[in-house]
Protein backbone atom coordinates (compact mmCIF):
# COMPACT_ATOMS: atom_id res chain seq x y z
CA UNK A 1 0.00 0.00 0.00
CA UNK A 2 2.77 2.45 0.93
CA UNK A 3 4.58 1.75 -2.36
CA UNK A 4 1.40 2.55 -4.30
CA UNK A 5 1.05 5.90 -2.52
CA UNK A 6 4.70 6.75 -3.21
CA UNK A 7 4.33 5.72 -6.85
CA UNK A 8 1.18 7.85 -7.29
CA UNK A 9 2.88 10.79 -5.62
CA UNK A 10 5.91 10.45 -7.88
CA UNK A 11 3.79 10.18 -11.03
CA UNK A 12 1.73 13.21 -9.98
CA UNK A 13 4.93 15.20 -9.42
CA UNK A 14 6.32 14.18 -12.82
CA UNK A 15 3.04 15.17 -14.49
CA UNK A 16 3.07 18.49 -12.65
CA UNK A 17 6.65 19.29 -13.64
CA UNK A 18 5.93 18.32 -17.25
CA UNK A 19 2.87 20.59 -17.21
CA UNK A 20 4.80 23.51 -15.79
CA UNK A 21 7.59 23.13 -18.34
CA UNK A 22 5.15 22.70 -21.25
CA UNK A 23 3.13 25.83 -20.41
CA UNK A 24 6.25 27.91 -19.82
CA UNK A 25 7.84 26.58 -23.01
CA UNK A 26 4.74 27.50 -25.02
CA UNK A 27 4.73 31.01 -23.56
CA UNK A 28 8.48 31.45 -24.00
CA UNK A 29 8.46 30.26 -27.61
CA UNK A 30 5.54 32.58 -28.36
CA UNK A 31 7.18 35.55 -26.63
CA UNK A 32 10.43 35.14 -28.55
CA UNK A 33 8.68 34.73 -31.88
CA UNK A 34 9.73 31.12 -32.38
CA UNK A 35 6.14 29.89 -32.59
CA UNK A 36 2.77 31.47 -33.32
CA UNK A 37 -0.32 31.13 -31.16
CA UNK A 38 -2.40 29.78 -34.03
CA UNK A 39 -0.37 26.58 -34.38
CA UNK A 40 -1.13 23.05 -33.32
CA UNK A 41 2.22 22.79 -31.49
CA UNK A 42 1.47 25.84 -29.31
CA UNK A 43 -2.01 24.64 -28.43
CA UNK A 44 -0.84 21.08 -27.73
CA UNK A 45 1.82 22.39 -25.35
CA UNK A 46 -0.87 24.38 -23.54
CA UNK A 47 -3.33 21.46 -23.48
CA UNK A 48 -0.89 18.80 -22.29
CA UNK A 49 0.69 21.24 -19.86
CA UNK A 50 -2.67 22.07 -18.32
CA UNK A 51 -3.48 18.36 -18.02
CA UNK A 52 -0.19 17.73 -16.22
CA UNK A 53 -0.88 20.55 -13.79
CA UNK A 54 -4.45 19.30 -13.25
CA UNK A 55 -3.05 15.89 -12.27
CA UNK A 56 -0.68 17.22 -9.62
CA UNK A 57 -3.15 19.83 -8.35
CA UNK A 58 -5.86 17.19 -8.01
CA UNK A 59 -3.46 14.91 -6.14
CA UNK A 60 -2.54 17.75 -3.79
CA UNK A 61 -6.16 18.96 -3.55
CA UNK A 62 -5.50 22.50 -4.75
CA UNK A 63 -8.90 23.33 -6.23
CA UNK A 64 -8.10 26.80 -7.55
CA UNK A 65 -5.28 25.45 -9.70
CA UNK A 66 -7.50 22.59 -10.91
CA UNK A 67 -10.25 25.01 -11.99
CA UNK A 68 -7.80 27.39 -13.67
CA UNK A 69 -6.20 24.59 -15.66
CA UNK A 70 -9.48 22.95 -16.63
CA UNK A 71 -10.43 26.27 -18.21
CA UNK A 72 -6.95 26.56 -19.76
CA UNK A 73 -7.29 23.05 -21.24
CA UNK A 74 -10.79 23.77 -22.58
CA UNK A 75 -9.52 26.92 -24.29
CA UNK A 76 -6.70 24.91 -25.85
CA UNK A 77 -9.15 22.24 -27.05
CA UNK A 78 -11.35 24.93 -28.60
CA UNK A 79 -8.34 26.53 -30.30
CA UNK A 80 -7.20 23.14 -31.60
CA UNK A 81 -10.65 22.43 -33.01
CA UNK A 82 -10.65 25.82 -34.72
CA UNK A 83 -7.23 25.08 -36.22
CA UNK A 84 -8.18 21.62 -37.43
CA UNK A 85 -11.75 22.25 -38.60
CA UNK A 86 -11.77 26.05 -38.93
CA UNK A 87 -14.84 26.47 -36.68
Instruction: List the domain range (segments joined by +) for residue 37.
Output: 2-85
Number of domains the chain is built from:
1
Q: 0.75 exceeded by the pTM? A: yes
Nearest of 72, 60, 50 to residue 13 by alpha carbon: 60
- 12-40 mean pLDDT: 98
Confidence of residue 6 (pLDDT cuts 50, 70, 90): confident
pLDDT attached to residue 5: 72
pLDDT tens, 31-56? 999 999 999 999 999 999 999 999 99
Query: Would you call 84 exposed, middle or buried from its count of C-beta atoms within 10 A (0-12, 13-18, 19+)?
Result: exposed
Amino acid sequence: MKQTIIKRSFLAEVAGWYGTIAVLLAYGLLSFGVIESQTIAFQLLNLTGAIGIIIVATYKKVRQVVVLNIIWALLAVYALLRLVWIV
